[in-house]
Amino acid sequence: QYTVTVSVDDGVDDTEVSATVSVFNVAPVLMGPQDTESIEGEVLVLRAQAEDPGIVPLVWTWAFGDGSNPVTGEDLQEVQHSFPDDGQYQVQVSVSDGASSSSDTALVTVINRAPDLMQPVDLETDEGRPLLLTAMASDVPADTVTYAWDFGDGQQDIGEDLLEVSHTYADDGAYVVTV
């Protein structure tokens, strides 16, 4: 509340009157982020804007909906976040002037990233002799990598964590191994 005082003086007498002015807080106006897509494990930049007629710095809070801790602070109109797994996440941004707040949400659709697979090297062996084959794959930690080996001779081996497999070719020839 503020007191406004007006004084009038005609050179002989003066008069003074006062009134009380109540100024009410106006909530910040938030223009939140748009719905968007991302790829798991990649950094996504999210942006929002806010307007507030007051002079108090705005405090921003971003909650990403993926179990990670919210990010809070001033000047967070733009944040970067990496989603650990594919799926849909409801991202919420809030802005506060200390007395009132506004919030908005956006839907982020996170697409699965294919695992990276290192090309196996060409090998030689004798028929009837076990051959050790190695493959290296990497993916985001939230995903389970399943290896599917096709030895090119009608035999296959499928399973998790099959970075190395042993295979014996019954007959001589050139075989294309697919992982």
Both structure tokens of 156: 């296959």
Give the three-state DSSP class for 45.
strand
Q: What is the pLDDT of residues 32-63, one digit of tens each?
A: 899 999 999 999 999 999 999 988 999 999 99
Q: What is the pLDDT of residues 121-136, one digit of tens each?
A: 889 999 999 999 988 8
Structure tokens at 109: 């659709």
Closest CA to 82 of 136, 141, 167, 150: 141
Q: Tell me the two tokens of residue 37.
A: 């897509």
In this prediction, residue 46 carries a pLDDT of 98
* Those residues with Cβ within 8 angstroms of residue 141's Cβ, 6 or more apart along the chain or in another chain: 84
Torsion of Cα atoms, 65 then 66 then 68 then 73, to 10°? -30
At residue 159, φ and ψ (nearest 5 deg) are 170, 170
Q: Of 176, 173, 166, 165, nearest to 127 (Cα)?
A: 173
Predicted pLDDT of residue 91: 98
Q: Which of 130, 179, 175 minimizes the C-alpha distance to 159?
A: 179
Say what the pTM is: 0.74
pLDDT for 154: 95
108: exposed, middle or buried (C-beta count within 10 Å: 0-12, 13-18, 19+)?
Answer: buried
Low-confidence ranges of the chain (pLDDT < 70): none
